[in-house]
Amino acid sequence: MIRKNTQIIKIDENNPESGKIKIAADVLKKGGLVAFPTETVYGLGANALDEKAVSNIFMAKGRPDDNPLIVHIADISQIDSLVEDIPEKAFKLMERFWPGPLTIIFNRSKIVPDKITGGLSTVAIRMPNHKISLKLIREANLPIAAPSANTSGRPSPTDSLHVIEDLNGKIDVIIEGGPTGIGVESTVLDISGDVPLILRPGGVTQEDLEEVFPKVEYDPALSIGEANLVPKSPGQKYRHYSPKADMIVVEGEVKSIAQSIIELSNTYHNEGKKVGIMATSQNHNKYSSGTVITVGDRNKPETIAASLFKVLRKFDEIGVDIIIAEGINEIGIGKAIMNRMRKAAGKRR
């Protein structure tokens, strides 16, 4: 890949400066790549209708070709040209959750490039809830294809520094817009069947969705082997969110989790390995060996979601050999957190 002279633009997340937004929007219009903040993680954007630009996303990230992308819009009217039809279910969801961290699967129109959909007949669309991303999409006047702005497989970026670490010199523009809020990617929902299916858990929870529909289920693909899976959503097939070190997730009762981590840490320490422990605030003081970083409060899982990827990258900086992470209850956003932890560990738990 030819190294680019990446332009880094700092933009006020609360009051995005129009002139700076226009610089980034013009890059998108010309087929360039722009990393920008959303309320979930930073995204790597390209004109969704420009197949060459979309191909450059895959090249910059080192992303597998069959891993679909999400198209980001700033106005519901932008959907019309991208989809064959808008089901009644979708209108209910858009009214309740957009803008916000919910991606909806639609039947694609012919103008959507195959590169975006991984060859599927569907396209994933969402409207982000972030002033910079919304203003950027409106200024470009284009639907923007945007996966997370990181090297494929690495922990997703929740700060512009993470984007710079992974993509500086590979893309045209990085917008510095402060840390993201939610910290895990959007929920991806398939509404084609009688019962809506969550293909990827995220910022909108099953409990949230069941305020709109009487029953919402998780795609069985979330818990089965993935070798032959044709991914219908980003984050389904491949190992994602992974730190450089090996990682183990310890699940169970809170007391037994702490005891198991102590035993594992001692074992790895005796083998001469540098151990990192991702702890909740409830157990932080129980660990005397290894490098301990508190990821958040298990009674306030949104704090863990916001810090998860940042902590994984911190362990990379420290240079540990093994990360041992506390699992949490899969209630609310806890489902998304555990999905990301298991992916990061390659389901090693």
Instruction: Give the CATH number of the domain where residue 288 resides.
Output: 3.40.50.11030
Residue 239 lies in a domain: no
Could you say which of 188, 222, 256 is where a domain stops? Answer: 222
Q: What is the C-alpha separation between 41 and 85, in angstroms, rounded?
A: 29
Please check whether residues 67 and 192 belong to one and the same domain: yes
Write the CA distances from 308 to 125, 240, 319, integer angstroms: 25, 13, 17
Please check whether residues 209 and 267 belong to one and the same domain: no
Residue 231 lies in a domain: no
Residue 46 lies in a domain: yes
Q: Which domain holds residue 318?
A: 246-344
Q: What is the pLDDT of residue 227?
A: 47
For residues 201 and 343, is the Cβ–Cβ distance under 8 A?
A: no
Q: What is the pLDDT of residue 117?
A: 95
Could you say which of 206, 222, 238 is where a domain stops? Answer: 222
Ranges of the chain whose pLDDT falls below 50: 227-228
- Average pLDDT of the chain, as a whole number: 94
Could you say which of 187, 207, 222 is where a domain stops? Answer: 222
Please check whether residues 190 and 329 belong to one and the same domain: no
Please check whether residues 260 and 190 belong to one and the same domain: no
Please check whether residues 215 and 250 belong to one and the same domain: no
Q: What is the C-alpha separation between 250 and 264, in angstroms, rounded?
A: 10
Please check whether residues 91 and 135 belong to one and the same domain: yes
Residue 241 lies in a domain: no
Rg (C-alpha) for the chain, rounded Å, is 20
Residue 232 lies in a domain: no
Please check whether residues 205 and 127 belong to one and the same domain: yes
Domain count, the chain: 2
Handedness of CA 326, 309, 241, 120 (dihedral sign): positive
Residue 163 lies in a domain: yes
Please check whether residues 174 and 267 belong to one and the same domain: no
Please check whether residues 31 and 118 belong to one and the same domain: yes
pTM: 0.94
Dig out the tokens for 102 from the structure. Answer: 């919910």
Cis peptide before 99 (omega within 30 of 0): yes
CATH number at residue 192: 3.90.870.10
Dig out the tokens for 117 from the structure. Answer: 């959909």
